[in-house]
Structures are given as structure tokens and as C-alpha cells.
Amino acid sequence: MWIFGIVLISLSGADGLTSFPDHLVVAAKGDPVTLTCRGHSDGNVTWKFAEDGKVENVEFGENVQQKGGKLVFGEAGDPMVGEYSCWSGVQNLSSVYLLLDAQEEEEDEEGEDLDSLISCRANSYDCNFNCNWTGSDYTAVRLGLGDECSTGEKRCEWVNGREAGPDGRFQFEMSHSVSPYAEESTMLEVTAEAISDSYYLKTTKRFYLRDIVQPDSPEIVRCQEVGQDLSVSIDPPASWSTPHSFFSLQHEIEYVYKDNGMHETSLSTLIPKRISQLRVRSRDPLVLSAWSQWSPWKNVTY
């Protein structure tokens, strides 16, 4: 009996929206809002509200009234958020989710810049890039590309986030159609929608693909003695765009002197011979992209 009780509690506690409902109405706190019973012009419907797993008739009052087939709230607020369905007798006609707009609350929070909720990175000029969402307290997040997603005027192809950890992180794999061969003149426009039990947040971020390029780590292939120097051969990361003659990479080598343990860096692949270890990183020298992560340290033996 005990165990059974605990399971029940944890199930109803996990009530947060983990996917986007088909129909969503977002209201600013304190504003009036009207829900319509889709596909039903006749006013003879019953509105029900789902609460704690039970579906009950909506209780009317000063702030909640039915006008024809519509459900009208004088002021949207926390107790009203959730799923409403309209019924004709025992037939469920349609349902809609009412959430509050988180925009104002988020912007009030000091230092919380909506832009910083999304961070994106491309490891090449090919057609994919990755984004992370780091806003906490949201249970489902999706991203869309282009002005059909930011304006909502046309149908947006949403990409649902993969939850990455318990702290409200979501990861996304996005694709774009920016040509890698032409001067990039239009910005990518990424729109995020996030929902929780009670709130909805929408924010858009714009950037050039070249500004989010960060190559993966390159690889040290071998070191060869050349007189007093060491010549280092470096392979670009496998994920980098080809041909490499067109998509150039600049490499930086960090090495440690054998005798005194001093560190030095070099943009040349010809480095002093008396070193104990080295590592390397890359960037696109044309756009001065972010540097890749360093490759692992490699011990020098020859």
C-alpha cells in the first residue's frame, strides 16, 4: 500500500508539460483572454478543465464566464493555467492549453539576458550546427529557423530539444542552407519556444554562421626532426569542411621545453626540438573564428 501511494504521488507530481500541445493560448498575466472551441460554431458546449488528473466542469465566476461557445477570462493568472477542453455532451470536441507569458518576468530578472539562453556552435561550414538551451525551469523547448518561426505567420519546422541533464538544459541539432562558398550576407535567425507547467517563453536570436564556427580539435599526426627543429604534421579535424584548400585552418602549437618546463606557443609548424610534449588547436584564419579545444597533450619521443 505504501509503495503504491508513493508511485501515485510521483506520477501526479510529474505534471509539467514535456511536449508542446497542439493548441496553445498565451496570455500576459492580468490581461483578459478568450478561449474558443475550435470547429464548433454552435454555442452549446461545456468547458472542462483538467486538474490533478481529473477533468471537471469549469467553475464560472466574476472572472470566468462562458459567452456562446467561448470561455472568457477577465484577468489571466496562475490558477487558470492548464488544459481546457470543450464538449458537446459526452463528446470531447477540442482542447487548448492556456499558459502565461514569461517574457515580462524574464526580462525583469536582473542580468538575465534572453539572448544568453541559447548558444550555438558549428564545427564546419557544412549544413549542421548545434545549439544548447540553458534556461532553467522549462520542461520542453523547441527551436526553429527563419522568419516563419519568429513571426509565426507561416508554418515553422520546429526541432524538439533533447533534454541534457536535470538542470533544464536542452540540446538541438539544427540544419541550415547557408552556402559555404558565398559571402554570407543574411543572418541565421533562431527562435526558441519554451514551456513549463505555467509559463511560455519565446525568444529569437540572430547571428552569422561564421560567428558560431568553432572547429573540433585537430590531430597531431607525427613529428619529424629537421636539423635543429621539429616539423609537426597536423591533420584538420575530420568534421571540418572540404576541400581543405578552400576551407583553410590555422594551427597553433603549444609545447613544453624538456630542460626547464617552460611553455611556448607557435603558429609555425616548425618548433624547437628539445621539447617533452605538445598539443595543438585550430581556427579559421579568414573569419578569425573561435579556437578549437586543444588536442590532448602528446609526449614527444623520437
23-57: string of b/e by CB count within 10 Å (b at 16+)?
eebbbeeeeebebbbeeeeeeebebbbeeeeeeee
Count of C-beta atoms within a 10 Å radius of residue 184 = 15
**Comparison of 21 and 74: residue with beta carbon closer to ligand NAG:** 21
β-strands 188-195, 275-283 pairing: unpaired
- Site residues (CB under 6 A) for ligand NAG, limited to 79-108: 85, 88-89, 92, 94-95
On whether the CB atoms of residues 131 and 171 are closer than 8 A, the answer is yes
The binder of ligand NAG chosen from 80, 81, 117, 120 (CB under 6 A): 120
Q: Which stretch binds ligand NAG (CB under 6 A): 2-10, 57-65, 127-135, 234-242?
A: 127-135
Instruction: Report d(CA 233, CA 270) in Å as an integer.
Output: 9
**Comparison of 87 and 199: residue with beta carbon closer to ligand NAG:** 87
On whether the CB atoms of residues 97 and 83 are closer than 8 A, the answer is yes
The binder of ligand NAG chosen from 28, 33, 55, 64 (CB under 6 A): 55
Q: Which stretch binds ligand NAG (CB under 6 A): 70-78, 130-138, 176-184, 190-198?
A: 130-138
The amino acid sitting at 77 is G
Q: Which stretch binds ligand NAG (CB under 6 A): 64-72, 128-136, 259-267, 278-286?
A: 128-136
**Comparison of 170 and 255: residue with beta carbon closer to ligand NAG:** 170
The binder of ligand NAG chosen from 63, 130, 250, 276 (CB under 6 A): 130
Instruction: Report d(CA 168, CA 113) in Å as an integer.
Output: 16
**Comparison of 92 and 239: residue with beta carbon closer to ligand NAG:** 92
Residue partners of 276: CB distance under 8 A and separation at least 6? 256, 257, 258, 261, 299, 300
Binding site for ligand NAG (CB under 6 A): 44, 50, 55, 85, 88-89, 92, 94-95, 119-121, 130-132, 171
